[in-house]
Amino acid sequence: MLLRRLCLLALFLALPLRAAELRIDLGHGVKTFSTEQLLARGDARAITIPDDVSFKHAMHYRAVPLKALLEGADADDALLFIAADGFAAEIPAALVLRAHGSQAWLAIEEPAHPWPALAEGKGDAGPFYVVWTDPQAMKIGQEQWPYQLATIRRLPPVAERFPAVRPDAALKPGNEVLRGFAVFQRTCFACHTLNGQGDARLGPDLNIPHNPTEYLREDLLRAYIRDPQSLRRWPEARMPGFDRQALSDADMDALLVYLRHMARRKVQP
């Protein structure tokens, strides 16, 4: 009996990982793609990412062009990329469909050849991971590399879906608050809610009960956004730092203007 159990265990350990499924909903019905289907596509190819944002070194993937999976999407659409761990990144469809230098790929983890674990105890990146070739060409931010991807969904504009995150409607185009709102959507909204609204569930709400501009000095808040570990040393913390390539000083200024503005616009959920 013991020998039989050991043989079964050895067989189980020798089996490849279970294949996964990716769901894509662009408003015309949900399409489901399995690992096997994606790997067998004629447009699947081997790509190299010289400086992978998540792994911090060169990585080699089997991948398909992401835009090939988004048939029916329009360049004006917003796309929500939902990860299994609760991360939710909103990426303008135009970045994927009208690439000018940068190209988005869906990297597929092959069951027989799993990717290594991510650094700093962040788990695995599989089964699906959005990666970019030549990301500098279109200034692709680190939050636009969602891993552990489970679902892609087309969305109405953020301000329509989540009215409580909108700045004052009386603000004129070009106002710094509006620029900060755009920065917030690109950087913070992937992990945080605001006034209880948003798709992500990784980080705390940024306005209720208190906005970070209300309890952190500006210099400490800036330092925290650049490097969270510089303010609170916590090995298990998941918030990434935003260096000046990911978040310029001008964008940081605008983001803080938006947060201070929203501190006066609290909405209890």
HEC letters along the chain: CHHHHHHHHHHHHHCCCCCCEEEEECCCCEEEEEHHHHHCCCCCEEEEECCCCCCCCCEEEEEEEHHHHCCCCCCCCEEEEEECCCCEEEEEHHHHHCCCCCEEEEEECECCECCCCCHHHCCCCCCEEEEEECHHHHCCCHHHCCCCEEEEEEECCHHHHCHHHCCCCCCCCCCHHHHHHHHHHHHCCCCCCECCECCCCCCCCCCCCCCHHHHCCHHHHHHHHHCHHHCCCCCCCCCCCCCCCCCCHHHHHHHHHHHHHHCCCCCCC
- Considering the domain architecture, whether residues 96 and 170 belong to the same structural domain is answered as no
- Considering the domain architecture, whether residues 94 and 176 belong to the same structural domain is answered as no
- Considering the domain architecture, whether residues 58 and 107 belong to the same structural domain is answered as yes
pLDDT mean over 204-215: 95
* pTM assigned to the model: 0.63
The DSSP string of 179-214 is HHHHHHHHHTTTT--BTTBSS--SS--SSSS--HHH
**118-138 confidence digits (pLDDT tens):** 876 678 999 999 999 999 888
Q: What is the pLDDT of residue 8?
A: 38
Out of 45-54, 66-75, 155-164, which region has the weakest mean confidence (pLDDT)?
Answer: 155-164
- Considering the domain architecture, whether residues 166 and 196 belong to the same structural domain is answered as yes
What proportion of the chain, given as a percentage, has pLDDT over 70?
90
**225-263 confidence digits (pLDDT tens):** 999 888 777 766 678 788 888 889 999 999 999 999 999
pLDDT mean over 67-82: 89
Which of 155, 184, 206 is the last residue before a domain boundary?
155
Q: What is the pLDDT of residue 235?
A: 67
- Considering the domain architecture, whether residues 187 and 67 belong to the same structural domain is answered as no
**28-40 confidence digits (pLDDT tens):** 899 999 999 999 9
**157-191 confidence digits (pLDDT tens):** 777 889 999 999 999 999 999 999 989 988 898 78
- Considering the domain architecture, whether residues 24 and 99 belong to the same structural domain is answered as yes
Q: How many structural domains compose the chain?
A: 2
- Considering the domain architecture, whether residues 187 and 118 belong to the same structural domain is answered as no
- Considering the domain architecture, whether residues 244 and 193 belong to the same structural domain is answered as yes
Helix extents (H) in 55-163: 93-97, 158-161
Expressed as residue numbers, the domain containing 208 is 159-262
**133-153 confidence digits (pLDDT tens):** 999 888 788 889 999 999 999
- Considering the domain architecture, whether residues 209 and 248 belong to the same structural domain is answered as yes
Q: Is residue 185 part of a domain?
A: yes
